[in-house]
Structure 1
Amino acid sequence: MRAIELQSFSVDALKLVERPDPVPQRDLPPGEVLVRVKACSLNFRDWLMAQGTYNPKQKLPLIPVSDGAGEVVATGDGVTGFKPGDRVLGHFFPAWQSGEPSVAKFAVSMGGPYDGWLCEQRCFPASALAHIPAHLSYAEAASLPCAGLTAWSAIVTLGRVQPGERVLIQGTGGVALFALQFAKLAGAEVIMTSSSDEKLARVKAMGADHGINYKADPHWGRTARALTGNAGLDHIVELGGAGTLMQSIRAIRPGGTISMIGVLSGPSNDLQIPLVVMQQVRLQGVTVGSKEGFDTMLRAMALAKLKPVLDECFDFSEAGVQAAFRHMGSGSHFGKIVIGLT
């Protein structure tokens, strides 16, 4: 089968190679499902992995990319719920089925440390797969495992956003756009931030109630708070990290929740701990989510007929994959970047 390998830490080192097929269908282990990959999607994590920034100790070569979708080719003994021809997508943390996270549940993740989806065929335990909602294409489904579930966890599972609450979401990347969709589904009022007026116009067309250009307004936390009558935001989806956290703390209401997801603005910060303590702010780390949460999200999307926002689809070739990764690194995308396999 054809696969893309990351052979050293560089986008230029993403190479198209031939690898043995995962396993003959007649020898498929019990509980395993053989999938023909149809589409993959990129996350910022994949870009960091290719740079050697995410995990400098990652063993190479690696088949990258954590998110994908495909068609079931065969199933091993004992597999129930899947059959050849079914359309499926993968769960990011196969060992995290339900409950609280743990070291063991975090140990197995696709696209690093274990090989990911950027190949023509892949074997998975049946417990790591879910059925694609009928209204979604392979490309749309491939965008859900990491960014979609992270946003769902931030807004629904951990955030418990209620109708009428006020939510601020940073940026217009994959997680941010999913968070906007889920927050509006929950009945929340949503403020979005971006450095692009064009992108702010696009999120308003998707249902965002307010937009703030953080480059034009570096004190956007104060502006966001003013939009609530100075009461403060109930919930903030914090994707910038250290460089934006103080603005989020200034915008949040006493007792509000800041979901910590991204580190896009860098590692350093002049965090003023007293503001967190005196306002009893909850800083909640969010790392994707469990299979139970994934299944719940998929059911909700099927009922609401929600569709992900896709940016551009690249072909499964060495040049195409490298171009997709560079597009991710540029930050110019709006929605999910997809790689299609024929």
Structure 2
Amino acid sequence: MRLVRLKAQAASGNLKLVEAEPRSPGPGEVLVRIRACSLNAHDSMVIGGLIPTADGRIPLSDGAGEVMAIGESVDAFKIGDAVVSTFFPAWFAGNPTKAVKRDIPGETIDGYASEFACRPAHHFTKAPAHSSYLESATLPCAGVTAWSGLMTHGQVKPGETVLVLGSGGVSLFALQFAKMVGARLIATSSSEDKLAQLQRLGADEVINYKECPAWGRKAKELTDGRGVDHVVEVGGPGTIMQSIEACRMGGHIAVIGVLTGFSGDISIPAIFSNQIRITGIQVGSRAEQASMIRAINANALKPVIGQVYPFEEINDAFADFDAGKSFGKACMEF
């Protein structure tokens, strides 16, 4: 089989295509033929050295494929099932702990940039019934993150207003989930072309944040001064104060990303005086992934796929990903 290994100390071109033999599944394990993977900012940070990992690690947290063989004591899957990986395979449900967040594919354990993956069965869930492998591969990181932020912690309801920042994978899933439950959606971008695409996906209002730097105030104006109920905050310190400005009193901000940096100033009085609830989100549990997939099945939701690369072009794929060239999830096919 072909797979990719990360040369952690390499200055450039640190993803190397190599050959290896797949192993047979042991008790409790399944052998999955990986058909597609998606790319995430987390993967990029691992590959770029911002998140340390072992030399020779197989990268990529998100993979989807077909069960080819089953070890003893596995009853959750059968041969031929379409499955998708989980970001935190040891986090089954409930509140996280350090222990259940220890194993992260592509970081602390091997990921899915490989034609075959032999893993414990609980590292996977069944894929959505009518999704392609490419569509399923977009779900474990970006999809579950948006689901956790909006549905688990936000409990978004019909008629509420959701603000999403930009057009990255999490923001696009948040847009789709919000519209799925009947919420109103405001989206931001600095690109008129992307704003038009966001409207085609269902955004009710759009704001060009380059032309309107005070986009938090603008979002509040679009709600007749009340403020939005939920913000999916992917920017971090460079955007958080605008997100607070956009919120209604008692609103919710799901803090998901750090695209503008890791630290910065924040007004504490703006939070407590408006009783804003801020939730830190790092993906979610296996149970949340299963709930999300049930909703995808019930609503025939189709993830937004951007550029698709052959497996051999993984270095080019990440170069384009880091340059922000793809609208929708960037993926690889095997």
Q: TM-score if structure 1 supplies the norm length?
A: 0.95
Counterpart amino acid of 1:254?
Answer: M
Q: Which position in structure 1 is the counterpart of 2:187?
A: 192
- Structure 1 distance, partners of 2:204, 2:11, is 40
1:5 Cα deviation from its structure 2 partner: 1.0
Query: In 2, are the aligned partners of 1:246 and 1:272 still within 8 Å (CA)?
Result: yes
CA change 1:10–1:218 in 2 (3 A) is: farther
- Structure 2 distance, partners of 1:65, 1:50, is 9
Q: Which position in structure 2 is the counterpart of 1:49?
A: 46
Query: In 2, are the aligned partners of 1:11 and 1:326 still within 8 Å (CA)?
Result: no
Q: Which position in structure 2 is the counterpart of 1:2?
A: 2
Counterpart amino acid of 2:198?
Answer: V
1:144 Cα deviation from its structure 2 partner: 0.6
How do residues 35-46 of structure 1 correspond to structure 2 at under 5 angstroms? Answer: 35-46=32-43
- Structure 2 distance, partners of 1:212, 1:227, is 10
State the identity as a percent.
48
- Structure 1 distance, partners of 2:212, 2:151, is 29
Q: Which position in structure 1 is the counterpart of 2:131?
A: 136
Q: Which position in structure 2 is the counterpart of 1:106?
A: 101
CA change 1:71–1:11 in 2 (3 A) is: farther
Q: TM-score if structure 2 supplies the norm length?
A: 0.97
- Structure 2 distance, partners of 1:44, 1:329, is 8
1:11 Cα deviation from its structure 2 partner: 5.4
SS at match of 1:49: helix
Matched, 1:65 2:60: yes
- Structure 1 distance, partners of 2:325, 2:105, is 25
1:267 Cα deviation from its structure 2 partner: 2.3
- Residue-by-residue CA offset, 1:89-113 (whole Å, 9 max, x unaligned): 1111110001111111110111101
Superposition RMSD on alpha carbons, in Å? 1.1
Query: In 2, are the aligned partners of 1:72 and 1:88 still within 8 Å (CA)?
Result: yes
Counterpart amino acid of 1:18?
Answer: E
1:332 Cα deviation from its structure 2 partner: 2.2
Q: Which position in structure 2 is the counterpart of 1:14?
A: 15
* Number of residue pairs matched by the alignment: 333
Q: Which position in structure 2 is the counterpart of 1:338?
A: 331
How do residues 142-161 of structure 1 correspond to structure 2 at under 5 angstroms? Answer: 142-161=137-156
SS at match of 2:16: strand
Query: In 2, are the aligned partners of 1:248 and 1:258 still within 8 Å (CA)?
Result: yes
Identify which range, 120-129 or 165-174, moves more after superposition.
120-129
Matched, 1:95 2:72: no
Q: Which runs of 5+ in 1 are unaligned?
A: none
- Structure 1 distance, partners of 2:43, 2:206, is 28
Q: Which runs of 5+ in 2 are unaligned?
A: none
- Structure 1 distance, partners of 2:181, 2:279, is 19
Query: In 2, are the aligned partners of 1:11 and 1:322 still within 8 Å (CA)?
Result: no
CA change 1:287–1:142 in 2 (3 A) is: same
Query: In 2, are the aligned partners of 1:161 and 1:183 still within 8 Å (CA)?
Result: yes
Identify which range, 114-123 or 79-88, moves more after superposition.
79-88
Counterpart amino acid of 1:328?
Answer: F
- Structure 1 distance, partners of 2:223, 2:109, is 45
Matched, 1:257 2:252: yes
How do residues 169-188 of structure 1 correspond to structure 2 at under 5 angstroms? Answer: 169-188=164-183
Matched, 1:165 2:199: no
- Structure 2 distance, partners of 1:216, 1:294, is 37
- Structure 2 distance, partners of 1:10, 1:236, is 38
